[in-house]
Amino acid sequence: MVISEEPTPGNEQHASVVDNPQTPAETVKQPTEERRWEATQVDETVPDDAAAIKPDLPVPDSVLTPTPPLKDEFQEELVVRPLHSGDIYASFQFRTVWETDFTRGMSHYRLFPKSLGQVISKFSVRELHISFTQGYWRTMQWGQPYLPSPPGAELWVWFQDTVTDVDATWKELTNVLSGIFCASLNFIDSTNTVQPSASFKPLGIANGTDHRFLRYATLPREIVCTENLTPWKKLLPVCSDSLCADLVYNRLFFPPSVNFSTAVSIPRLCTYGRCVRTGRAKPQWSLFKMFSRTLTEACPLASSSKIYIDVTDNPQDQFELSPATHLLSQAVVLGDRRTFSVYDLTQQVTFGTVRSLNVLIRWKSTEGDMLRPLLHAERYVAGYGLQTGEIHTLMYNNHPFRSFPVLLLDSVPWYLRLYVHTLTVTSKGKDNKPSYIHYQPSKDRMRPHLLEMLVQLPPHSVTEVTVQFERALLKWTEYTPDPNHGFYVGSSVVSALVPSTVAMNTNITKEQPLFSTFFPTKEESSYFIRAYTEPLLVNLPTPDFSMPYNVICLTCTVVAVGYGSLYNLLTRSFQVEEPNPGLAKRIANVIRKMRGVPPL
């Protein structure tokens, strides 16, 4: 087992593969290659090139946009995906593209929000990714999300290599962002910031990997609330009556939405939002039901404004969609080939004669069976008592015959003192030696533990990573106002190159053209996903704060009276003292002394 502070060359190679799985060729044709099909047509007749539209990419793609430089553009889209569990997954993406050099200091802003533009230029930010999430993404029920994020707040930033004091800049940046997003990002300090060596790579064009310029922090306790939405909304160009305005803000975050997340990525400002709503999806779901309104027009500023409905399951006649659309598009999303119905809001014909669009899904059967997600991770604290414990991280590889490597990142606060010698990695009952380990020990009240390792997950297995820890005693001012609630440990991050599910589909039950078997190469490839485990809630030994004053008083008294007097008794030597003579006797003695007679 190699423990090193610096990434090994082998890992660099891995990380560069991880970076940006989709090639530019796939995505470049997004706006143009859309075709009209009849809805009844067999999907697989489309040429593969055209099928590569990614309606909602988890990462901003490095695309050469057709627009000339220094011109900005705004796009918006909504992807709706009915889930097998009967829930509805809605994912928004608003993208503002502005090919400009922020370092020169800009003065004129049109679509791009000025607040963020100034932040980018002032702090020399190369890349910034921030997300606020409420609730845990249930991978086993819902599959992989398009944009994974851990519960709470997550922020990771790549700085330009012109920045000299990265830590100071980072601190200032988090404070500024805290103001912009109305969130407690100012609680990010050196005790919860790490510099991952391999897990987070820049997604943009420049591909420098000196992790001195990277900072990563999570706040698992951050509660996301409507007050975080208003600043988020302000990042968008003003739209009153379209996707971005009412649709998102009026209804996104209210029950029965069970999981929602907002995220912002720079460069190529992308603001994301996603939510999952339960209970109301079957037997009928509609835009109106979800957002309490229908759509009447697109945002006038948007160059593209689309709604995608995932209809991949429709061939089995699980549900029907109305109004039917003639536009279909196909994409390989997260290694799986999906078909989408597209509603282009920029065209008036979409809204029909009633001048409003209300997409409706009617379910024909209530049963659904989902393919188990290939990668799934979870974590828990083992043991009892308040002295020691053990963190268990479980990573499931559900692929029947392919193994794949994952990069596990664990950032543990200093008050859990990890015993790294107890670190074990086992899969299928055998020791699984990580090929790369990067461990940075914590410093009390200074920085957290950072543990990164590259582990190969065998096919169809559970890999368990365990490490023991000791709970530290905090100083009494370091406890939170609710110490008996426990202390949070942020989610572990599992980054992986997962083999495509399309290639996994060996039994050809679906009707597909015979010639399609000639071209398996492209979809054989792996794709990159990031999975987050749940955060942990760990109890630390907590004094009884309900009566500190009584305790202090009592302790002081006991120490002073008990110890003091006992010490006195033990150390003093006692002598029997003559009883004090009376006054008359003393005078008599003085006289006797003067007379030279021995005293009485």
Residues interacting with another protein, by CB under 8 A? 134-136, 138, 140-141, 151-152, 220, 255-259, 278-279, 378, 380-386, 390, 392, 482-486, 488, 534-539, 542, 544, 546, 565, 568-569, 572, 574, 576
Q: What span, in angstroms and rounded, lies between the C-alpha atoms of 510 and 288?
A: 34
Which DSSP string corresponds to 211-247? Answer: GGGEEEEEETTPPP-GGGHHHHHHTSPP-SSSIIIII
Beta strands in 241-297 (DSSP E): 257-266, 270-277, 284-286
**Which residue number, 392 or 402, has a Cβ lying nearer to another protein?**
392
CB of 289 to another protein, least distance (A): 16
Question: Helix/strand/coil (H, E, C) string of 550-563?
Answer: HHHHHHHHHHHHHH
- CA nearest to 535, candidates 59, 211, 154, 180: 154
CB of 471 to another protein, least distance (A): 13
Q: What span, in angstroms and rounded, lies between the C-alpha atoms of 224 and 416?
A: 26
CB of 254 to another protein, least distance (A): 10
Measured from the Cβ of residue 288, the count of other Cβ atoms closer than 10 Å reads 15
CB of 367 to another protein, least distance (A): 12
> Tokens at residue 186, please?
């100012």
**Which residue number, 379 or 438, has a Cβ lying nearer to another protein?**
379
**Which residue number, 9 or 255, has a Cβ lying nearer to another protein?**
255
> Tokens at residue 338, please?
């999906």
**Which residue number, 379 or 447, has a Cβ lying nearer to another protein?**
379
CB of 379 to another protein, least distance (A): 9
Whether the Cβ atoms of residue 193 and residue 217 lie closer than 8 Å to each other: yes
CB of 39 to another protein, least distance (A): 33
CB of 151 to another protein, least distance (A): 3
Beta strands in 513-579 (DSSP E): 526-532, 536-538
**Which residue number, 370 or 382, has a Cβ lying nearer to another protein?**
382
CB of 315 to another protein, least distance (A): 26
**Which residue number, 431 or 482, has a Cβ lying nearer to another protein?**
482
**Which residue number, 224 or 307, has a Cβ lying nearer to another protein?**
224
- CA nearest to 338, candidates 41, 39, 43: 43
**Which residue number, 92 or 137, has a Cβ lying nearer to another protein?**
137
Burial 524-552 (b: 16+ CB within 10 A, else e): ebbbbbbbbbbbbebebebeeeeeeeeee
